[in-house]
């Protein structure tokens, strides 16, 4: 799956300059010429490499979905609305400390802390908000550090830039937590190994997060600063329908904004994203919805994911319960709508109903099912 | 004893043009020399300074050329002969004073200004023919064509200056200033008996005698023109004007300055000395019209061989027009006819080509095969673009600027200025300088950009200046920026040197031109007292410097300052301060030109201390050139460049 002679210049032309950059951070993992800064990719100098990792691994350049799916999930890419799944249920942590910091059920923090504890992994590539609640890629090596990463910023955080902090010769076993675009980038890295970054085969575990869209730090934060002192915020939340708000919790109060107020700060690249449930992960986690406060929906996609969840249950640090049929049905509907909207936006952008931009390697049957007729 | 002041009249010394000028001034008995460094003239002042004590001369580096000429004029007002020295741009700076001292006249003692131009702009930021300034300001002008002539002209210029009571210009070019020639030394002056005294005349009925100008100005302007005519009369019989050739030449070359050699060599090479006459003019303004007129009537063709402006060409053609109909048959060749261009240096080859065309001659300078081989051989010479020295702090400063501007993301830019950091317009400074004009113009132009918010302008503005340039011309711009609340950040690149011109001292370095200690201007205090916010950074601390730049660029306030303080690498070497680190590249870690690096250190940072081993595909340290500053270790994305502290 070669990039056909493309490097950073092509990346800037095809993705960053074309309004497709999702803010995943894959391009900056091994690159001294580009950095993620204040919610954007900044190009510091010109690189002349013609066959660059940046272009190969970007989730918005041509992706052979089948090849990637085979590599990461062991199956061809299908038409399932929520992606390939072995099991789907609900889960939550039993650990009070984790539950206090968690967005919903604390599942991600619990599973990763367990994996660290058991020596399954040595470090986690994830996201951490700084004092002013701007998220950055972060490398967590302990439960305490993981706790600092709990909670959603709802922003594109360039999580994969944390990969940079790992020395090339490191043999650390890694886990990666990311949104759909980030896990897709990682899956592309596994399929077409980077030339000079840490070997992604070291990544033992990928945890994906459900995502509808992400805000851009560079535009959202000036707006946020007008509302409150971001350093006082303790949690952000977008409760599911029928709510239509973006909630900012500080230690003293809760500010509830209409989602319409937030829309100008959404990354326009998100309108081309079809992967709401982070399909290229071992486990995908999201909120279970307003009927199940404090619970996560968990999609187990691989044996690795299944084993870890089993272990967590066995150790009593996590409890699970079945996901009601209506809830699953709702999830599938929303996910399918996401795909169809994305395909519509993509073909509008390309002006050609057969040019799906970065989405490639799909069979006709799959495309038809996913596309709105 | 300084050799320039050796007491050996009649002895021959091998002197640079600049040194010959210094000797000429010393022989003329000057008491004051003032200048600002500027290639190609920078050697004159230090040469005089070397003999300052024994010859009782006050030799100073002034903060700019205007002050330098004012300093020299005061000496003349007080009866002391003086010399001021400058390159072509300095004449522009000094012009306003000269135009006024031409109104009042100088003092009893002569004042000479030596200007050396830079045709082709090899060491300048522009190309300019300064001769027209003497026409514009109404001063006599001489042009030297050899080191000997430079000495003799400067000495004689004092006599002319005193005879006409005007500043006299002696002009050279790079080739004159830097070419060495045999100079027969003259006598050293007698010891000065009279004390310096300024008569400070105030005569209500004879204001022309005063040194202040007062209206009505035509009263002062008329005597000025009369002085010029007096100079013209003196020039008619000057031996610096010489004719060589037949009585009635087929073609008359009128030439001056460095072009004298090109003309004589061309005539020799073509072996047409029997057909061509050469009138070499040493005094070119005012034109000795009787002399030139005589030669105009001896020929049918006139070819002007001079560099840059058709200065002599125009005044001679003016003369020819006034001599009509006697001169109606003359054909003129030069800039107007396109035989020589008004740009760049001339050369013997160019003159030969022109003569070939004018006279219809054939001439093969060298064997055609040899010519072909020579042209092929040139292709073997490696391309060597300009660069900053290994260890130059400007490299670090502009790296930080480049990154800060990109991170800031609002299309910020830097207004450049004159000095080693001028190279920031090109690769060595990562193409950061986006405007560049005269000394101090960076801050001046930045002032202008910083005023444009009301028109929607939202780009952060930076200006750079060196420490010497700061004292030369930037201070008023900084005051303007604070007072007029212009939104820009001034970066003073304080490397403790006037580096580009040769490490002359300045008000911040603690030393005078003579080497004596001098008070040091406190740059931070000076900027603060003007009302600017001041930060100080070490450019080699890239993180702190980049952070400070970002902070300052994001402010909305009047002019503010960051002093980038780090000693110039060559100053460190001269002061024998030990190098901080030894460097080497770990080839095991180096990624070379592959993805993840793409030769960031050798291709973009470009320090001469780094080299690319194309066989191994790795970067390496050039131990002959690396000075161990350590900067590259911070740039390498994989830590392959190792720096070790020198114990």
| Host H or E run for residue B266 | helix B259-270
Rounded distance between C-alpha atoms, residue A253 and residue A127, angstroms: 25
Torsion angles phi and psi, residue B215, rounded to 5: -70, 165
Reduced to 3 states, what is the DSSP secondary structure of residue B9? coil
CB proximity list for B637: less than 8 A, separation 6 or greater: A31, A32, B591, B596, B597, B600
Tokens for B263, please give them: 């003309």
**Assigned CATH topology for domain B3-236:** Rossmann fold (3.40.50)
Please check the confidence at residue B214 and state whether its pLDDT lies above 80.
no
Average the pLDDT over B81-107 and give the result. Answer: 95
On whether the CB atoms of residues B389 and B570 are closer than 8 A, the answer is: yes
pLDDT in tens, A247-299: 999 988 999 999 999 999 999 999 999 999 999 999 999 999 889 999 999 99
On whether the CB atoms of residues A299 and A307 are closer than 8 A, the answer is: no
CA distance B415 to chain A (A): 19
Residue B277 pairs in a beta bridge with B252
What is chain B's Cα-based Rg? 28
CATH 3.40.50.10800 fits B393-574, yes or no: no
pLDDT in tens, B391-448: 999 999 999 999 999 999 999 999 999 999 999 999 999 999 999 999 999 999 999 9
Topology alike, domains B3-236 and B393-574: yes
Q: Please, which pLDDT band fits residue B212 given cuts at 50, 70 and 90?
A: confident
**Assigned CATH topology for domain B581-645:** Alpha-Beta Plaits (3.30.70)
Tokens for A155, please give them: 């922003």
Q: Is B108 on the interface with A (CB under 8 A)?
A: no
Q: Do B595 and A37 touch (CB under 8 A)?
A: no
Q: Please, which pLDDT band fits residue B206 given cuts at 50, 70 and 90?
A: confident
CB proximity list for B197: less than 8 A, separation 6 or greater: B78, B79
Tokens 């009249």 — which residue?
B9
CA distance B225 to chain A (A): 60
**Which residues 271-330 of A have a C-beta within 8 angstroms of B?**
none
C-alpha distances (whole Å) from B263 to each of A123, B139, B352, B377 are 79, 27, 8, 29
Nearest 5°: CA angle at B443, between B437 and B446?
A: 95
Size of interface A-B (CB pairs under 8 A): 56
Residues of chain B in contact with residue A47, where contact means CB-CB under 8 angstroms, are 598
Q: Please, which pLDDT band fits residue A4 given cuts at 50, 70 and 90?
A: low
Rounded distance between C-alpha atoms, residue B341 and residue B430, angstroms: 34
State percent of chain B over pLDDT 90. Answer: 92
pLDDT in tens, B587-623: 999 999 999 999 999 999 999 999 999 999 999 999 9
* Residues B25-60 as b or e (16 or more Cβ within 10 Å = b): bbbbbbbbbbbbbbbbbbbbbbbbbbbbeebebbbb
pLDDT at position B219 is 81
C-alpha distances (whole Å) from B628 to each of A204, B201, B423, B427, B572 are 43, 62, 22, 21, 12
Q: Please, which pLDDT band fits residue A1 given cuts at 50, 70 and 90?
A: very low
Q: Do B593 and A195 touch (CB under 8 A)?
A: no
Continuous H helices in chain A: 8-14, 53-57, 65-73, 96-101, 107-117, 143-149, 180-191, 217-227, 259-262, 303-314, 325-350, 364-370
pLDDT in tens, A145-199: 999 999 999 999 999 999 888 887 889 999 999 999 999 999 999 999 998 888 8
Q: Do A195 and B403 touch (CB under 8 A)?
A: no
pLDDT at position A241 is 79
Tokens 């320039």 — which residue?
B4
Q: Is B616 on the interface with A (CB under 8 A)?
A: no
On whether the CB atoms of residues B596 and B638 are closer than 8 A, the answer is: yes
Tokens 């066995």 — which residue?
A314
Mean pLDDT in chain A? 92
Can you spell out the DSSP letters for B279-316?
EEESEEES--HHHHHHHHTT-SEEEEE-SSS-HHHHHH
Can you spell out the DSSP letters for B416-462?
--SSGGGGGGSGGGTT-EEE--STTHHHHHHHHHTTGGGGT----EE
Rounded distance between C-alpha atoms, residue B95 and residue B73, angstroms: 13
Cβ-based burial of B576 (10 A; exposed 0-12, middle 13-18, buried ≥19): exposed
Q: Please, which pLDDT band fits residue A242 given cuts at 50, 70 and 90?
A: confident
Tokens 């900084």 — which residue?
B478
Say if strands B141-143 and B168-173 run parallel, antiparallel, or are unpaired: parallel
Q: Do B406 and A44 touch (CB under 8 A)?
A: yes
Say if strands A359-360 and A203-209 run parallel, antiparallel, or are unpaired: unpaired
What is chain A's Cα-based Rg? 19
pLDDT at position A373 is 55
Question: Chain A: residue nearest B588 by CA?
Answer: A169
Rounded distance between C-alpha atoms, residue B209 and residue B160, angstroms: 19
Query: How many Å separate Cα A156 from the centre of its chain?
Result: 9
Backbone torsion region of residue B456, taken as left when φ is above 0, otherwise alpha when ψ lies between -120 and 50, otherwise beta: left
Residues of chain A in contact with residue B597, where contact means CB-CB under 8 angstroms, are 32, 196
Question: Chain B: residue nearest A27 by CA?
Answer: B596
* Sequence ranges of the domains in chain B: 3-236, 242-359, 393-574, 581-645
Tokens for B635, please give them: 């740039």
Interface test with B, best of A47, A194, A225 (most B CBs within 10 A): A47
Rounded distance between C-alpha atoms, residue B360 and residue B206, angstroms: 61
* Residues B335-366 as b or e (16 or more Cβ within 10 Å = b): beeebbebeebbbbebbbbbbeebeeeeeeee
Global model pTM greater than 0.90: yes
Residues of chain A in contact with residue B591, where contact means CB-CB under 8 angstroms, are 196
* Closest C-alpha to A57, from A176, A170, A189: A189
Please check the confidence at residue B343 and state whether its pLDDT lies above 60.
yes
Q: Is B638 on the interface with A (CB under 8 A)?
A: yes
Rounded distance between C-alpha atoms, residue B493 and residue B475, angstroms: 14
Q: How high is the ipTM of this complex?
A: 0.91
B495: how many CB neighbours lie within 10 A of its CB?
27
Interface test with B, best of A3, A49, A53 (most B CBs within 10 A): A49
CB proximity list for A6: less than 8 A, separation 6 or greater: A14, A50, A51, A52, A55, A56, A61
- Write the residue in A40, A195, A218 that is nearest to B595 by C-beta: A195
> Which CATH architecture does the domain made up of B242-359 adopt?
3-Layer(aba) Sandwich (3.40)
Continuous H helices in A142-230: 143-149, 180-191, 217-227
Rounded distance between C-alpha atoms, residue A178 and residue A208, angstroms: 5
Tokens 């991600």 — which residue?
A108
Tokens 């050697």 — which residue?
B43
Backbone torsion region of residue A344, taken as left when φ is above 0, otherwise alpha when ψ lies between -120 and 50, otherwise beta: alpha
């Amino acid at each position: 799956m070669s990039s056909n002679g493309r490097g950073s210049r092509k990346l800037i032309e095809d993705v960053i300059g074309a309004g497709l950059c999702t803010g995943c951070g894959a391009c900056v993992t091994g690159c001294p010429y580009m950095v993620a800064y204040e919610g954007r990719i900044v190009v510091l100098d010109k690189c002349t490499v013609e066959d660059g990792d940046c272009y190969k691994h970007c989730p918005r350049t041509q992706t052979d979905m089948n090849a990637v799916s085979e590599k990461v999930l062991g199956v061809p890419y299908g038409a399932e609305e929520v992606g390939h799944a072995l099991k789907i249920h609900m889960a939550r942590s039993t650990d009070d400390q984790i539950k206090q910091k968690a967005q919903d059920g604390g599942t991600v923090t619990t599973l990763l802390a367990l994996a660290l504890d058991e020596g399954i992994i040595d470090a986690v590539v994830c996201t951490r908000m700084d004092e002013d609640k701007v998220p950055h890629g972060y490398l967590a090596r302990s439960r305490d550090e993981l706790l600092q990463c709990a909670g959603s910023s709802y922003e594109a955080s360039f999580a994969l830039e944390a990969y940079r902090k790992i020395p090339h010769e490191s043999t650390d076993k890694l886990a990666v937590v990311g949104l759909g675009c980030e896990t897709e980038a990682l899956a592309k890295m596994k399929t077409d190994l980077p030339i000079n970054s840490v070997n992604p085969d070291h990544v033992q575990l990928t945890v994906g997060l459900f995502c509808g869209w992400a805000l851009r730090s560079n535009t959202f934060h000036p707006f946020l600063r007008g509302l409150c002192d971001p350093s006082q915020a303790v949690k952000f939340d977008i409760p599911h329908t029928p709510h239509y708000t973006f909630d900012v919790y500080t230690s003293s109060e809760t500010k509830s904004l209409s989602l319409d107020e937030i829309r100008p700060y959404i990354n326009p690249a998100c309108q081309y994203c079809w992967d709401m449930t982070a399909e290229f992960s071992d486990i995908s986690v999201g909120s279970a919805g307003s009927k199940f406060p404090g619970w996560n929906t968990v999609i187990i996609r691989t044996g690795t994911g299944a084993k870890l969840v089993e272990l967590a249950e066995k150790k009593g640090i996590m409890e699970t319960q079945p996901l009601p049929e209506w809830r699953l049905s709702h999830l599938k509907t929303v996910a399918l709508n996401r795909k169809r909207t994305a395909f519509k936006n993509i073909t509008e952008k390309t002006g050609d109903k057969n040019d799906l931009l970065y989405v490639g390697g799909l069979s006709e049957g799959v495309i038809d099912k996913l596309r709105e007729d | 004893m300084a050799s320039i002041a050796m007491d050996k009249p009649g002895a021959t010394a091998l002197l640079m043009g600049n040194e010959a000028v210094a000797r000429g001034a010393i022989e003329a008995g000057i008491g004051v020399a003032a200048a600002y460094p500027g290639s190609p003239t920078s050697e004159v002042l230090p040469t005089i300074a070397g003999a300052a004590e024994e010859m009782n001369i006050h030799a100073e580096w002034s903060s700019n050329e205007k002050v330098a000429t004012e300093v020299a004029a005061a000496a003349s007002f007080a009866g002391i002969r003086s010399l001021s020295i400058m390159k072509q741009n300095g004449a522009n700076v000094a012009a306003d004073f000269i135009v006024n001292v031409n109104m009042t006249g100088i003092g009893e003692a002569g004042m000479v200004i030596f200007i050396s131009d830079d045709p082709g702009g090899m060491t300048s930021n522009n190309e300019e023919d300064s001769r027209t300034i003497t026409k514009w300001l109404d001063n006599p002008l001489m042009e030297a064509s050899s080191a000997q002539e430079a000495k003799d002209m400067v000495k004689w210029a004092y006599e002319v200056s005193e005879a006409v009571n005007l500043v006299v210009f002696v002009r050279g070019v790079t080739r004159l200033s830097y070419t060495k020639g045999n100079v027969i030394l003259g006598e050293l002056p007698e010891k000065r008996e009279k004390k310096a005294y300024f008569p400070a005349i105030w005569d209500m009925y004879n204001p022309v005698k005063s040194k202040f100008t007062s209206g009505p100005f035509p009263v002062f302007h008329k005597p000025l023109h009369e002085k010029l005519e007096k100079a013209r009369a003196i020039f008619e019989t000057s031996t610096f004007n010489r004719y060589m050739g037949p009585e009635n030449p087929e073609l008359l070359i009128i030439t001056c300055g460095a072009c004298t050699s090109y003309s004589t060599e061309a005539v020799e090479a073509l072996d047409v000395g029997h057909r061509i006459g050469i009138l070499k003019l040493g005094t070119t303004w005012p034109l000795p019209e009787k002399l030139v007129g005589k030669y105009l009537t001896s020929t049918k063709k006139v070819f002007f061989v001079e560099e840059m402006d058709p200065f002599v060409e125009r005044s001679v053609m003016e003369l020819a027009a006034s001599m009509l109909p006697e001169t109606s048959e003359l054909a003129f060749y030069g800039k107007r006819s396109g035989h020589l261009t008004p740009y760049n240096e001339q050369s013997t080859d160019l003159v030969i080509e022109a003569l070939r065309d004018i006279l219809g001659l054939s001439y093969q300078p060298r064997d055609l095969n040899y010519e072909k081989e020579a042209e092929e051989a040139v292709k073997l010479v490696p391309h060597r673009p300009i660069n900053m020295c290994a260890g130059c702090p400007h490299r670090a400063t502009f790296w930080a600027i480049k990154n800060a501007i990109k991170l800031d993301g609002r299309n910020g830019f830097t207004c450049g200025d004159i000095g080693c950091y001028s190279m920031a317009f090109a690769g060595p400074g990562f193409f950061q300088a986006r405007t560049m004009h005269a000394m101090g113009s960076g801050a001046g132009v930045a002032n202008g950009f910083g005023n444009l918010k009301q028109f929607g302008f939202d780009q952060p503005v930076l200006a750079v200046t060196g420490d010497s340039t700061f004292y030369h011309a930037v201070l008023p711009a900084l005051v303007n920026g604070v007072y007029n609340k212009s939104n820009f950040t001034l970066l003073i690149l304080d490397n403790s040197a006037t580096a580009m011109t040769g490490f002359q001292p300045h008000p911040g370095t603690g030393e005078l031109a003579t080497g004596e200690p001098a008070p040091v201007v406190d740059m931070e205090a000076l900027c603060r007292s003007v009302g600017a916010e001041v930060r100080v950074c070490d450019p080699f601390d890239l993180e702190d410097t980049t952070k400070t730049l970002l902070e300052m660029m994001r402010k909305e306030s009047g002019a503010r300052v960051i002093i980038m303080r780090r000693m110039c690498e060559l100053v460190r070497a001269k002061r024998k301060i030990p190098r901080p680190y030894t460097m080497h590249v770990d080839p095991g870690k180096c990624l070379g030109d592959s993805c993840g690096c793409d030769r960031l250190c050798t291709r973009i940072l470009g320090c001469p201390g780094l080299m690319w081993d194309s066989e191994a595909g790795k970067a390496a340290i050039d131990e002959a050139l690396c000075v161990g500053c350590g900067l590259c270790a911070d740039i390498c994305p994989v830590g392959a460049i190792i720096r070790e502290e020198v114990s």
